[in-house]
Structure 1
Amino acid sequence: MKKHGILNSDIARVLAQLGHTDSIVIADCGLPIPDHVERIDLALKLGQPSFVDTLQEILADMQVERAVFATECLEKNPTVVAQAKEMQSSGVSIDFVSHEEFKQLCHRAKAVIRTGEASPYANIILHSGVIF
């Protein structure tokens, strides 16, 4: 059994297979997931697991160079905005696009990790960096 890091075998596998600039999505429970993109469903009930808890665990195990959020979160979700600012202060490049464009970008993701988050626009696309 693993001693450290993410215990979910699907998430651990996807993170281990990422190359530079590959992307994954962490999504609230309402984001539409394209049929051809792997779905890793963590949702247990509304709010669990949360977007923030899931994001923090992924960030502890993944080298991220860029993140994309929906512009709408700037007005509708201060918790997500706080996460964006925290990531930016740690050197991650942050971009904002319309929610419609965000949904189109999800088609390029290796996987979408669906949380139980039930607040608006609690979604992020994480682009893999390199550790050297």
Structure 2
Amino acid sequence: MRDDGLWHPRLLHLIASLGHGDLLVVADAGLPVPPGVETVDLLWQRGEPRFLPVLAAVLGELVVEQATVAHEVTDPLLLAGFARQFTALGADRVERVPHERLKDLTRHARVVVRTGEATPYANAVLRAGVPF
């Protein structure tokens, strides 16, 4: 058993199997998942688990070279959470795109991790990087 970090066996396996440039999406409960894209459903009720803690846990396990979020995000808590969690990436590595473009990116994802979040546009597309 792990001492810290993620404990979800399938999610850990999927993160470990990502290669450079592969996409992982951390999503709210409403983001449509395209056919053929693996989904890890963590939600068990509206609002649980929250998006930002799941994003933090995934970021603790994955080297990320770029993050993409929707232009339409207006929720101040979500914006502050993005700023806090993506600080290590730097502003030039966080892209804001229209939500429709973000949904298009999910078609190329290896996995979508669905949370119970009900805040509009609480989604992040993470592009795997390398640690060197």
- Per the TM superposition, whether the score is higher than 0.5 is yes
Unaligned runs of 5+ in 1: none
Tell me how far 1:88 sits from its aligned partner: 4.1
Q: Tell me what 2:107 maps to.
A: 107
Tell me how far 1:10 sits from its aligned partner: 1.3
Q: Tell me what 1:68 maps to.
A: 68
Residues 13-92 of structure 1 aligned to structure 2 (within 5 Å): 13-73=13-73, 76-92=74-90
Q: Secondary structure at the match of 1:10?
A: helix
Say if 2:95 is the partner of 1:95.
yes
Distance 2:60 2:87 in 1: 15
Distance 2:85 2:2 in 1: 27
Q: CA RMSD in A?
A: 1.2
Contact 2:64 2:89 in 1 (8 A): no
Query: How high is the TM-score relative to the length of structure 2?
Result: 0.92
Q: Secondary structure at the match of 2:120?
A: coil
Q: Secondary structure at the match of 2:107?
A: helix
Q: Secondary structure at the match of 2:101?
A: helix
Higher helix share: 1
- TM-superposition CA deviations, 1:33-87 (whole Å, max 9, x none): 11110010000111110001100111111111110001000xx322221133224
Unaligned runs of 5+ in 2: none
- Go from structure 1 to structure 2 and tell me whether the alpha carbon gap of 1:2 and 1:87 turns closer, same or farther (over 3 Å shift): closer
Q: Secondary structure at the match of 2:13?
A: helix
Give aligned-pair identity as a percent.
Answer: 38
Query: Residue 131 of structure 1 aligns to which amino acid in structure 2?
Result: P
Query: How high is the TM-score relative to the length of structure 1?
Result: 0.92
Distance 1:20 1:130 in 2: 6
Tell me how far 1:3 sits from its aligned partner: 3.0
